[in-house]
Chains A and B, each alone.
Chain A
Amino acid sequence: MSAPSKVWPYIIGTLLLVAGDAGCDGPQSALAPAGRGAQDIATLFWRMVAAGSVIWLVMVVLGIYSVRTHADALGDRRRVRWLIIGGGSVIPTILLSVLLLTSLPMLPELLAPAPPGALRIEVRGKMWWWRVRYLTPDGESVELANEIRLPVGEPVEFQLASDDVIHAFWIPSLGGKVDMIPGRLTRLKLEPTKTGIYRGACAEYCGMSHALMNFDVVVMEKVEFAQWLDQQREPARTPSEPLAIRGQQLFIHNGCPACHTVRGTEATRVIGPDLTHVGSRHTLGAGILKNEPRQFVNWIAHPDDLKPGVKMPAFDMLPEEHLQAIAAYLETLQ
């Protein structure tokens, strides 16, 4: 049985090479933590990996030894019994107890609600986008979609819900995930510790375009965040350039307000995402397109190609210049 012992080093070596190449970084990586929960869990993970690797190596070496060793190496039956009881039951019990004693105490902190007065954000999962509502202490709310901005160093309480199917709200860089279940309210506390741009995703399979249900998370300095929230609170800016003015007319004329809200205008329906400040967002279509006029045109003309099964109808019957005008209008909604 020498062959397996020869191949494992190669496999492990390859893994290390791959790991080196892939690294831990990435806007959606649980191993590049930028929040308290994520940090604690990543530390726990690395410890478990270290312990697990040792256990695995011991088991494999033991396996190879047991194949190579000759009859009666163990002598009498009592020693066999000790091997089975000790290795199979006593040592695992000790190791698992240590693991439980180190991991379970993390739960209360991970599951605790944010302190009173903390920022509260309601997020509703939709097929396949996110309705985001900042609940400010004055009882008002500011609605946006597919983007979440957070102040660094402050715990935030998320209230999670769904109107259609089960989704799961997950920002790997900041912490664990929680399901959004129709008929129930769930919650999650996150506390970002580093500024930067991260990415969230729906983790629970939610139908056709589950893969295309993402969002951007921007962690900002507190002052910047306050400015941003104030700006989001404002109604939409009235367009001044001719193309954008034309775009707004086309936006209304082609029935967009039947689903979308642009605060401060006659568009007030809440079937689709709020577009009041859509121009200020990093991405379009729930994290799938860059925010640029070209992509607005693409999206409006062919949403179903970009996101199979999406509810928004295609507007590919509109002439190119109409699409460009609408895109220009939406781009001004900063």
Chain B
Amino acid sequence: MKRGDPQPLAHAPSAEVRREQEERLRKAWATPTGWRYWSEVNNTKVGLWYTVAACCFFLFGGVLALLMRIQLAVPDNDFLTAEQYNQVFTLHGSVMMFLFAVPIFEGFSILVLPQMLGARDLPFPRLSAFGFWCFLIGGTFVCGSIFFGAAPQGGWFMYPPLTTRYQSGVGVDIWLLGLSFIEIASIAAAVELIVGVVKCRAPGMRINLIPLYSWYILVVGGMILFAFPPLIAGDLLMEMERAFDWPFFDPARGGDPLLWQHLFWIFGHPEVYIVFLPSVALMAMIVPTFARTPMAGYSWVVLAAVGTGFLSFGLWVHHMFTTGLPGISIGIFSAASQAVAIPTGIQIFCFLATLMIGRVTRSVCLLFAFAGLATFVLGGLTGVMVAVAPFDFQAHDTYFVVGHLHYVLVGGTIFPIVAGFYYFFPLVGGKKLSEKLGRVAFWLMLVGFNVAFLPMHWTGLLGMPRRVFTYPANLGFDTLNMISTIGAFVLAAGFLVFVWDVVRPKKGQAISARNPWGGGTLEWLSEMPGEPWGVRSIPEIDSRYPLWDQPNFVRDVDEGRFYMPDAEEGMRETLVTTSIDARPIQCLRVPGPTFLTLYAAAFTGAVFIFSTYHWWMPAIVSGVLALGTIIIWLWTGTALIPEKSEKDVGLELALPIYTSGPDAVGWWAMFITMLGDMTAFMSLVFGYFFYWTIHEDFPPRDATGPGLLWPLAGGSLLLGGWLMTLLARRCNQQDRANAFYFAIGSAVVLSVVGSVALILGPWTTGLDPTSHVYPATVWILTGWTVFHVALGVIMQLYCAARRVAGRMTYRYDADIVNVALYWHFIALTVFITVAVIAGFPLVT
């Protein structure tokens, strides 16, 4: 340890004391039994449910894939009708991307992240639980639709105008609303994970000591934060067109189908890396363990991961090479797309270097990791090929791309995930999976996969387009398709063996040894089977692989010689540390089991589900219930004033229990969430300027805009509302109660009046959003702003109520501090909205 760092206690507490400590910890972290089991919010349970649910959706998606392969096994097949096939392939893509690939990363990260960081839980356990229930409800709704023949059939990319004007069934709405709902849950989980990595690390775990998996979580969390909002904005535009005929994608009224493609692929391309990077992260944990040596080029890996994340946002146009773009854009995006091969190459070579340095222990785990690498490299090479625009002109939308993307996603995602299963499985139940069955599964999967997908490259270049429900004989596709089908079934058999290995009863099997693979990172502190508290005492870290490098580490942790070996008050607690150098700054009390999150998710889900069928009244009622439930949840579970201001966490350190501002996890969550929210808003603004670039005159010369008066009046009033909110925060800090109530009251009045004024702009000039895309964009920006102001008003009233109820004081002021932060973003939103709708027409 570095000099000055706290040392573990020289002598362990007596056995008696330790038993009592364990008793209290166990009680605080115990999972409720019986039906109340489902009220648990702790990461070990929610993460597990999340992972299991994602795997179930994966199997469902796999069955859909087999149905497609049966249909395509022979030419002119009628196993499925065209309509059924189109539903199946749409759902296969959507399920794999939205219900498996992203959620399994998030669920699994929720499960292992705290242990990896030496925390007892993530900072917002109830948010994780809420996200899980949203995911389960939304996913079931979307998947269930196929049993009623009502599934979406627009492809996972949902291109308008096919989906806006030519598919009148409820399928598209199920996709838009069901998946938007899940995307919001995904963002919630991303916020949770980002704040977890930034604020809940073990003391001493400076940013250069963070386990690589956690680095990747940080990168991927950030990518989700910026990639999903454009899609949510797109979903909003498309649903407005479908439900209310606002013509965003209708060329007859100034709209353009390509706007959707831009928004979709600004999401869709980073999505590929969102799916791929977590699997690299798994490899980054597995490879060093089996090579028995620290990861080579740690900083290179981190930089490469960050670089991949950044670059992935600049490549989306390569999905649109055939839309008739000018050569210069094609060339730039072609080069940018290839550039992403470089950080990827660095990551792969870091793995190779690690394997070279180390003395490798063989295992099924490593087999899958190696197969993943070999498969992914091939997918990467074909990826470089399709990034070459001239070749893409031929390969685009053919089975070549189907082959390519499955090599990337199965090689880069599925195989590493299976490797991760074998690696981390003992952490969950204390027992290992079978090496023998693992080998059988491995060979079936590897051979099956290649037999299924390698020929597809060929099929595509022989001219077979994607998304065809059948093909005629004699075009040369017959044999190749039959081979692909056979391969798909061999692959499926491999998964069957694997699933059996996971679910088979293991009663007779011995409990695995602790740290069975000899890993060096904190999650391997876990006892077998794990205790509910996660980590017995929270250690001080000074190595990337503390279990390898720090002497007597496991003993010291186990004997409670580090921080927080006890739960004196019987509450669930974990440490909050600073974001860069991980100095402990707070003893965070995390909330325990509740059904509120389940109710909140159910009501929120009902809003989306009822809206799908245009049952507006039940949707509004559900919305009010959801809001009410969430307010009760916040009121009873967050920013609680502790019984004492500080707490002794051991090693002669006393930490505050309550913090606000940038030290607090809540502040970070608000900040990060609002970054995502701003991204969605900016996507709408992007839409406005996209129309400006494609039209000769936008806004149209003869169009009456919202005028100047009302937008300016509304904007000024709303900015006044923002300033009064800031004033309220200050008055609260100075403990001037009356001034606080006055300020917050004026903020509410100004915000409400300002919203009305903002609406009066387009209202008084009679802008009809169904007449042309211009009024529609004005209205959507106005509507977005007013909706956010309305939420802001609820927050202002909430703060006032908290102060009245004595739940917020001048010292315990997290509520108003976070609300003020929210209002900073609203002020920016208001400013941009007014500048665009009122200011921009003056410029053109």
Is B703's beta carbon under 8 Å from chain A?
Answer: no
Residues of B within 8 A of A40 (CB): 390
Q: Specify which of A67, A83, A87, A186 is in contact with B360 (CB 8 Å cutoff).
A: A67
Is A45's beta carbon under 8 Å from chain B?
Answer: yes
A67–B355 CB distance below 8 A: yes
Residues of A within 8 A of B331 (CB): 104, 107
B297–A201 CB distance below 8 A: no
B162–A107 CB distance below 8 A: no
A92–B341 CB distance below 8 A: yes
- CB-based nearest B residue for A182: B251
A59–B82 CB distance below 8 A: no
B357–A74 CB distance below 8 A: yes
Is B468's beta carbon under 8 Å from chain A?
Answer: yes
The A-contacting residues of B in range 358-394, CB under 8 angstroms, are: 358-360, 362, 366-367, 370-371, 373-374, 377-378, 381-382, 384-385, 388-394
- CB-based nearest B residue for A81: B297
B342–A92 CB distance below 8 A: yes
A71–B323 CB distance below 8 A: no
A127–B166 CB distance below 8 A: yes
> Could you say which of A207-215, A223-231, A256-264 contacts chain B?
A207-215
Rounded to whole Å, the gap between the CB of A75 and the closest CB of chain B is 10
Q: Specify which of A1, A74, A177 is in contact with B393 (CB 8 Å cutoff).
A: A177
- CB-based nearest A residue for B304: A88
Is B727's beta carbon under 8 Å from chain A?
Answer: no
A104–B470 CB distance below 8 A: no
Rounded to whole Å, the gap between the CB of B618 and the closest CB of chain A is 31
Residues of A within 8 A of B451 (CB): 11, 14
The A-contacting residues of B in range 418-473, CB under 8 angstroms, are: 443, 446-447, 450-451, 454-455, 458, 461-472
- CB-based nearest A residue for B297: A84
B297–A166 CB distance below 8 A: no
The verdict on A18 contacting B353 (CB below 8 Å), with A48-B388, A92-B345, A208-B86 known, is: no
Is A221's beta carbon under 8 Å from chain B?
Answer: no
The verdict on A84 contacting B342 (CB below 8 Å), with A44-B390, A168-B397, A176-B394 known, is: no
A41–B390 CB distance below 8 A: yes
Most buried by B among A84, A209, A308: A84
Per-position binary interface string of chain B over residues 51-76, scored 1 when its CB falls under 8 Å from any chain A CB and 0 otherwise: 00000000000000000000000000
B334–A100 CB distance below 8 A: yes
B338–A309 CB distance below 8 A: no
Q: Specify which of A23, A69, A100, A184 is in contact with B324 (CB 8 Å cutoff).
A: A184
| Complex Cα spacing A37 to B390, Å | 9
- CB-based nearest B residue for A308: B82
| Complex Cα spacing A165 to B162, Å | 5
B82–A74 CB distance below 8 A: no
Is A63's beta carbon under 8 Å from chain B?
Answer: yes
Q: Specify which of B255, B327, B391, B479 is in contact with A111 (CB 8 Å cutoff).
A: B327
Per-position binary interface string of chain A over residues 157-200, scored 1 when its CB falls under 8 Å from any chain B CB and 0 otherwise: 00010001110101011011111011110110000000000010
| Complex Cα spacing A168 to B345, Å | 34
> Could you say which of A26-34, A114-122, A265-273 contacts chain B?
A26-34
Residues of A within 8 A of B154 (CB): 205
| Complex Cα spacing A175 to B447, Å | 34
Rounded to whole Å, the gap between the CB of B696 and the closest CB of chain A is 14
Residues of B within 8 A of A88 (CB): 300, 304, 342, 345-350
B371–A309 CB distance below 8 A: no
| Complex Cα spacing A22 to B377, Å | 25
B468–A172 CB distance below 8 A: no
Is A7's beta carbon under 8 Å from chain B?
Answer: yes
A11–B378 CB distance below 8 A: no
Is B161's beta carbon under 8 Å from chain A?
Answer: yes
Rounded to whole Å, the gap between the CB of A308 and the closest CB of chain B is 4
A18–B455 CB distance below 8 A: yes
The verdict on A103 contacting B455 (CB below 8 Å), with A45-B385, A96-B338, A164-B166 known, is: no
| Complex Cα spacing A201 to B357, Å | 52
| Complex Cα spacing A25 to B474, Å | 11
Is A243's beta carbon under 8 Å from chain B?
Answer: no
Give the interface size bracket for A toward B. 35 or more
- CB-based nearest B residue for A8: B374
The A-contacting residues of B in range 296-345, CB under 8 angstroms, are: 296-297, 300, 304, 322-324, 327, 330-331, 334-335, 338-339, 341-342, 345
Is A15's beta carbon under 8 Å from chain B?
Answer: yes
The B-contacting residues of A in range 18-69, CB under 8 angstroms, are: 18-19, 21-31, 37-38, 40-41, 44-45, 48, 52, 55-56, 59-60, 62-63, 65-69
Residues of B within 8 A of A31 (CB): 461-462
A30–B458 CB distance below 8 A: no
Is A72's beta carbon under 8 Å from chain B?
Answer: yes
Is B396's beta carbon under 8 Å from chain A?
Answer: yes
Residues of A within 8 A of B370 (CB): 1, 4, 63, 67
Is B655's beta carbon under 8 Å from chain A?
Answer: no
| Complex Cα spacing A210 to B468, Å | 6
Residues of B within 8 A of A29 (CB): 461-463, 476
A176–B357 CB distance below 8 A: no
Rounded to whole Å, the gap between the CB of B401 and the closest CB of chain A is 10
Is A314's beta carbon under 8 Å from chain B?
Answer: no
Is B502's beta carbon under 8 Å from chain A?
Answer: no
Is A73's beta carbon under 8 Å from chain B?
Answer: yes
B384–A41 CB distance below 8 A: no
Q: Specify which of A1, A67, A84, A205 is in contact with B353 (CB 8 Å cutoff).
A: A84
Is A70's beta carbon under 8 Å from chain B?
Answer: yes
Is A255's beta carbon under 8 Å from chain B?
Answer: no
Is A317's beta carbon under 8 Å from chain B?
Answer: no
- Ranked nearest first, the 10 interchain pairs of A and B with the lowest CB-CB distance are A183-B251, A176-B393, A28-B463, A88-B346, A211-B468, A186-B324, A88-B349, A26-B476, A66-B355, A165-B162
Q: Can you offer 24 A-B residue contacts whose CB atoms are under 8 A?
A: A3-B367, A4-B367, A25-B476, A26-B475, A26-B476, A48-B388, A48-B391, A56-B377, A59-B373, A63-B355, A84-B350, A85-B300, A89-B345, A92-B342, A92-B345, A96-B342, A107-B330, A160-B324, A165-B159, A165-B166, A183-B251, A183-B255, A204-B397, A211-B82
Q: Which residues of B contact A (CB under 8 A)?
A: 81-83, 86, 153-155, 159, 161-162, 165-167, 251-252, 255-258, 293, 296-297, 300, 304, 322-324, 327, 330-331, 334-335, 338-339, 341-342, 345-350, 352-353, 355-360, 362, 366-367, 370-371, 373-374, 377-378, 381-382, 384-385, 388-398, 443, 446-447, 450-451, 454-455, 458, 461-472, 475-476, 479-480, 483
